[in-house]
Amino acid sequence: MSLKVSGLNVLHRPVQAPENSDPQYDGPQSSTTILPKDFRKSPDAAAFRTATIFTKDIEIVLRDGTKIRADIFRPHDSANSVPALIAWSPYGKSGRGHFNLSIVPERVGVPEKRLSGFEKFEAPDPAEWTARGYAIVNVDPRGVYDSEGDIRWLGSAEGQDGYDVVEEIAKMPWCNGSVGLVGNSWLGMAQWFIAAERPPHLKCIAPLEGASDMYRELWCRGGIPQWPFWGFLAETMCGRNRREDVKGMLDEYPLMNEYWEDKRARIDRINVPAYILASYSTFLHTMGSFRGFEELGNDQKWLRVHPTQEWFDLYQTSTNDELQMFFDRYTKGIQNGWENTQRVRVSLLRFNKEPIVNYPFNTWPIPTTKHEALYLTKDGLLSKKPPLQTETLSYQSDVRSFQIDSDSEELQFEYTFARKTCLLGCSRALLQMSCPDYDDMDVFVQLRKADKDGHMLQNINIPFQDLGKSADEIENVNPLKYLGPTGALRGSHRAIDPRLSTPLWTEHDYTSREPVKRGEIITMDIGIWQTGIVFDVGERLVLKVSGHNMTLAEFTALRGQLTAANVGRHVLHVGGMYQSRLVIPLVEIDQR
């Protein structure tokens, strides 16, 4: 049965059969195996720390009769029933799939011996968590591998499927009736949609970095389609039928409509405790993670902003210990004092020094934030004083970007700090721009940190001791290096949506296209995602403006694939009656 959203027929595309595309595929046969204590999948894998019952490919029936499959790992020697932690994504389960940490250089600092090889990509390791007294449920959602139906890409329909799985797992005789959700990326995104459906036996969630509005944050940020990464992901999906064709829907329905609104999670409906993780290093999940904390529909929520990369953080002992404390409180009812945990802890990056970790605040956004305007000048400076004379600068907008931190045609504006300063939160670039050669503009901005000598800095996301390489040897890919926060906007989508905009963030409308007349000067109000950066005296903040995406590519294979709909030169107007400016959030911190 084809999926419809508010009466719209959803397009689909076929997917490859798992036996034709995944060398790890081992068939759909159900089985139950006892993995003894110290069992290893391979000589280089981590051992199970307790005897574990591994039930493969159980069937779970959804409300429409569709049967999907899951693997369950649970402690063998537990005298009592245990809670279940569900990991939900289309990447395969229990070691299957195209994605694992080996696709990233140096495995993002997580050695092979750290994991059992039974973990679902971006999910907790069963060998770790059965020893902590939990069952891990790795789900192949609708349409994935041997699960029936067509693969869905998030939205309320997938949330309803998740509701059904939570309730079915809670009924199982080994389960104590308490279910949690956990995991990175897609596993985090899915949690917003599942929890918004309010399954009765869902006790808590742990979205460990997850976007929450697929159109505005991921697929069409700033009104600019950004598909190469998602196309790469889509082509790896396995199943027996079809997948939701998001690219086809974007081509057919480029403007905001009911289909895309359904891809924005109703976070305000979530009524269970949440442990929310965020970072600045991801180009996917930063905004959605912070929005999740801000909009969650109850006050039992905790935000931790870590200084590394999501996959590295997931498998740190300190992360697992803290997650266990959270899950013990809400799925086992243990009175362990979790509620006393600081509600907001952020990391502050210093780029050329060790980060400040777990800096405490009581809430987010930080109410004492001061917003300062810095005006762009003809000579490439950011000034506290508006320049009096109108001037112009320009760049060629249609050069190809390779996303390796060395592209051309990027304007730069610098501000040197006279005192130690912390930039924390969302920034905003209000740029007066025109294009004499075309009726639209895709404009990209980025904030960078430069040292006292003006050298542009890169933040290494993984500690050097875990990568085993020097800074010069580390590859220029986004999981390993963070350059700075970014923003993007297509000129024809400059109209503002007052419903979703806040004093700290401008959201655009996207329901109609307003062409830019050639040569017309318009205001590009570009939101820049959250960051936390400390600047010492003499260090510099750099604003870059260009016609191409300036983040590093996620994988080397994606370099040069992101394109923009630009033609000719973009003109930036500064000074006089055209006060292009950058507004930055400044927060006082103690001198560490």
pLDDT the model gives residue 3: 86
The 8-class DSSP code of residue 466 comes to: H
Distance CA 321, CA 518 (A): 58
Mean pLDDT for all residues in the chain: 96
Helix axes 186-196, 286-295, angle to 10 degrees: 30
pLDDT over 90 for what percent of the chain? 92
CB 181 within 8 A of CB 85: yes
User: Cα–Cα distance between 384 and 215 in angstroms, integer?
Assistant: 35
Helix axes 156-171, 186-196, angle to 10 degrees: 80
Domain with CATH 3.40.50.1820 in the chain: 4-341
Average pLDDT over residues 452-481: 94
Distance CA 376, CA 373 (A): 10
* SS3 letters across 505-568: ECCECCCCCCCCCCCCCEEEEEEEEEEEEEECCCCEEEEEEECCCCCCCCCHHHCCCCCCCCCC
Instruction: Please list the residue range(s) of the chain that carry CATH number 2.60.120.260.
Output: 370-586
Please tell me what DSSP assigns to residue 387. Answer: P
**pLDDT single digits (tens) 17-76:** 999 989 889 999 999 999 999 999 999 999 999 999 999 999 999 999 999 999 999 999
Q: What is the mean pLDDT of residues 526-546?
A: 98
**Tokens representing 138?**
């790795």
DSSP secondary structure string for all residues of 223-277: G----HHHHHHHHT-B-SSEEE-HHHHHHH--S--HHHHTTB--GGG--S-EEEE
For residue 1, is pLDDT > 70? no
Highest mean pLDDT among 227-231, 233-237, 376-380: 376-380
Name which of 12-26, 180-194, 210-224, 429-443 the model is least confident about. Answer: 12-26
pLDDT at 592: 61
Span 280-319, pLDDT tens digits: 999 999 999 999 999 998 999 999 999 999 999 999 999 9
pLDDT one-digit tens code per residue, 76-101: 988 899 999 999 999 999 888 888 99
Average pLDDT of the segment spanning 201-227: 97
Residue-wise burial string across 154-184, b where 16 or more C-beta atoms lie within 10 A, e elsewhere: bbbbbbbbbbbbbbbbbebebbbebbbbbbb
| Nearest alpha-carbon partner for 142 in 11, 2, 310, 304 | 2
Residue 134 Ramachandran class (φ > 0 left, ψ -120 to 50 alpha, else beta): beta
Name the phi and psi angles at 98, rounded to 5. -75, -20
Q: How far apart are CA 316 and CA 124, in angstroms?
A: 11
> Measuring CA to CA, how many Å separate 310 from each of 252, 264, 288, 290?
33, 22, 14, 15
Mean pLDDT (whole number) for 573-588: 97
* Nearest alpha-carbon partner for 311 in 455, 111, 78: 111
For the whole model, what pTM was predicted? 0.97
Residue 263 CA, chain-centre distance (Å), reads: 15
CB burial class (10 A; 0-12, 13-18, 19+) of residue 351? buried
List the structure tokens of 150.
């067509």
Reply yes or no on whether the pLDDT at 186 is more than 90.
yes
Quote the CATH superfamily of domain 4-341. Alpha/Beta hydrolase fold, catalytic domain (3.40.50.1820)
d(C-alpha 387, C-alpha 375), whole Å: 7
CB atoms within 10 A of CB 257: 16
Span between the terminal Cα atoms of the chain, in Å: 59
How confident is the model over 262-275, as a mean pLDDT?
A: 98
How confident is the model at residue 120, as a pLDDT?
97
Strand ranges in 391-473 using DSSP code E only, listed in sequence order: 391-396, 410-416, 421-434, 442-450, 459-460
Judge residue 34's burial from the number of C-beta atoms within 10 Å of its C-beta, 0-12 exposed, 13-18 middle, 19 or more buried. Answer: exposed
- Rounded Cα distance between 570 and 514, Å, is 17
> What pLDDT does residue 24 have?
87
User: Looking up tokens 């993995």, which residue turns up?
Assistant: 35
Specify the pLDDT at position 471.
87
CATH topology of domain 370-586: Jelly Rolls (2.60.120)
Give the separation between CA 115 and CA 101, rounded to whole angstroms. 10
